[in-house]
Amino acid sequence: MVSRVIPVDPFDLVIFGGTGDLARRKILPGLFRRFCAGQMPESSQIIGAARSDLDDAAYRKMVGDAIAEFGGGRACDSGTLDAFLKTVHYVKTDAKGDGGWAELNDRIQQDRVRAFYFSVGPSLFGDLAERLHRFGLATPQSRIVVEKPFGHDLESAKALNATLAEHFDETQIYRIDHYLGKETVQNLMAVRFGNMLFEPLWNAQYVDHIQITVAETVGVGGRGGYYDKSGAMRDMMQNHLMQLLCLIAMEPPAKFDPDAVRDEKLKVIRALEPVEPHHIVRGQYAPTKNEPGYRDDVDDPKSRTESFIALKCHISNWRWAGTPFYLRTGKRLKARTSEIAVVFKDAPHSIFGVDAGRHRNVLAIRLQPNEGMTLDVTIKEPGPGGMRLLDVPLDMSFAEALGPEAEEAPDAYERLIMDVIRGNQTLFMRGDEVEAAWAWTDPLIAGWQDRNDVPKEYDAGSSGPEDALMLMHRDGRKWREIKV
Ligand code: BG6
């Protein structure tokens, strides 16, 4: 299998917040890897724009250091780094004033795609959009890229959408949810819609339930200030897990094009039923002997923000009526693992009698790490002595099946930035999609705030609070183990 890298046309990319954490960790190293792979032409320009007093040389030094720290890639060497750094420039720009904008305009080439990456807090989105317009930088060839969090609730998301819409058309706005850029997340669509095997069974008649787990081992670390105002619901559930749910539950789009895919995802979100309060479990990680607990991390001994959430939800449509979806995500858990498991119903009648026990097919899709798929199949236990049944996995690791190519696949940011340049919005969230996700989320948050709900403490390194286990036990089901 040979990977096909299709170079994009030369482009200009302005990174507002070009000296910030996201730019240093993800955007700049990602661009460098695309450069090494031959996808980014040498005549492209990457323009850092921020408040710091830097010139091209100082910014290039910063970019070089970021690449050294956060990773180039196997195909990259120092000669390539020099060539890449020649594409990098810096313009000191004031997002809230007039400084730097004329210079930025002079630096950008005409007649090519120009992308503006808003790698800054959402409070600056309006200022940037307005100035891009006023200083003549916003042209039909322009695209803007905005990061999550896209709003804090429905009202703020609507306000952000309205602000951006004053200056840009929806086809020019790229809202990033980096989960959609993950290779294995895109693979969900390939598995579902590229195979005849699964889709006929992919409904309430054959599927008992679906569980989605995104578990992390890290705590909130230095992001306490942001995180404590968000919690797992806003930080992960409203966006990343919601997107996974959409891809697993949506109807087949007529074609793989941006609006066809996003129309189907939107229908799933709109069909989500409100979640009953007793179907939501929230938790906070407790301190250990050596490590602080959640409340220490956010420096608030009374914080009621959740670092873990599990919930059971239903999608009211013909395909899924009656099939529960169990979703959970949290920090400081047992292992870093993201997995979707489709648990099929029991065979309608067991010809082997009750002694054969209960056996079920489970299709588990491992998103990270150790990406792959497992299908549990029931077989006969070998040997004499009657018919005993056993579940064994058909196990496929993408790394083993695809070799080095799987390892060299672009990471989420690389993939998404190249999609921006190509003008492909399939893997970006549309404004109405984000608003629908908030419309479902807001009442759940308001509900626990009204009830003065206090998150349950859970041990760091565990699978979350006991109550989360009970959420499934009560239904005669159980979570899959959190393990790598
Ligand atoms: C981010 C969240 O969007 O996703 C973080 O803000 C979280 O809190 C991160 O840690 C997880 O991303 P990944 O790619 O490491 O699974």
Are 144 and 150 in contact, with CB atoms under 8 Å apart? no
Q: Is the pLDDT of residue 3 over 80?
A: no
Find the Cα–Cα–Cα–Cα dihedral 450, 456, 460, 461, rounded to 10°.
-110
Residue 356's pLDDT band (cuts 50, 70, 90):
confident
Please state, rounded to an integer, the average pLDDT across all residues of the chain: 94
Angle at 322 between CA 483 and CA 261, to 5 degrees: 75
Query: What value does the mean pLDDT take over residues 470-479?
Result: 97
Which residue minimizes the CA distance to atom 15 of ligand 1?
216
Return the structure tokens found at 242.
Answer: 């919601």
Angle at 156 between CA 454 and CA 168, to 5 degrees: 150
Summarised one tens digit per residue, pLDDT across range 101-148 is 999 999 999 989 999 999 998 889 999 999 999 999 999 989 999 998
Residue 313's pLDDT band (cuts 50, 70, 90):
very high
Summarised one tens digit per residue, pLDDT across range 208-242 is 999 999 999 999 988 899 999 999 999 999 999 99
Amino acid at 195: N
Which residue minimizes the CA distance to atom 6 of ligand 1?
235
Q: Is the pLDDT of residue 45 over 60?
A: yes
Classified as helix, coil or strand, 146 is strand
Residue 157's pLDDT band (cuts 50, 70, 90):
very high
CB of residue 235 inside a 6 A radius of ligand 1: yes
Report the alpha-carbon distance of residue 344 to residue 112 in Å, rounded: 50
CB of residue 216 inside a 6 A radius of ligand 1: yes
> Which residues, in sequence order, are bridge partners of residue 14?
47, 116
Ligand 1 closest atom vs CA 182? 14
Please tell me which residue, 406 or 164, carries the higher pLDDT value. Answer: 164
Query: What value does the mean pLDDT take over residues 185-192?
Result: 91
Report the alpha-carbon distance of residue 200 to residue 365 in Å, rounded: 18
Summarised one tens digit per residue, pLDDT across range 382-421 is 888 778 888 999 998 888 888 776 667 788 999 999 999 9
Are 434 and 175 in contact, with CB atoms under 8 Å apart? yes
Are 31 and 11 in contact, with CB atoms under 8 Å apart? no
Q: Give the pLDDT score at 1.
A: 47
Q: Are strands 308-313 and 325-330 parallel, antiparallel or unpaired?
A: antiparallel
Angle at 401 between CA 395 and CA 405, to 5 degrees: 140
Summarised one tens digit per residue, pLDDT across range 263-301 is 999 999 999 999 999 999 999 999 999 999 999 999 999
Task: State the DSSP H helix or E strand holding residue 212, giving kind and residue range, or none if neither.
Answer: strand 207-215
Contacts of 121 (CB under 8 A, 6+ apart): none
Which residue minimizes the CA distance to atom 10 of ligand 1?
216
Angle at 244 between CA 483 and CA 154, to 5 degrees: 125
Q: Give the pLDDT score at 25.
A: 94
Residue 370's pLDDT band (cuts 50, 70, 90):
confident
Return the structure tokens found at 351.
Answer: 């010809």
Residue 308's pLDDT band (cuts 50, 70, 90):
very high
Distances in Å between the alpha carbon of 236 and those of 201, 357, 442? 29, 37, 14
Instruction: Spell out where 286-400 has E strands.
Output: 308-313, 325-330, 337-344, 362-368, 372-380, 389-397
Span from the CA of 179 to the centroid of ligand 1 (angstroms): 9
How many residues are present in the chain? 484
Query: What value does the mean pLDDT take over residues 293-321?
Result: 97
Which of the residues are catalytic? 240
Summarised one tens digit per residue, pLDDT across range 69-94 is 998 666 677 789 999 999 999 999 99
CB of residue 12 inside a 6 A radius of ligand 1: no
CB of residue 208 inside a 6 A radius of ligand 1: no
Report the alpha-carbon distance of residue 56 to residue 86 in Å, rounded: 9
In the numeric block, the tokens 């787990």 are attached to 213
Q: Count Cβ atoms within 10 A of the Cβ of residue 221 and give its class: 0-12 exposed, 13-18 middle, 19 or more buried.
A: exposed
Q: Is the pLDDT of residue 2 over 70?
A: no
Ligand 1 mutation pick, 176, 236, 244, 484, max ligand atoms within 8 A of CB: 236
Span from the CA of 439 to the centroid of ligand 1 (angstroms): 22
Instruction: Verify cis geometry, omega within 30 degrees of 0, for the bond prior to 149.
Output: yes
Distances in Å between the alpha carbon of 285 and those of 298, 471, 484? 12, 18, 20
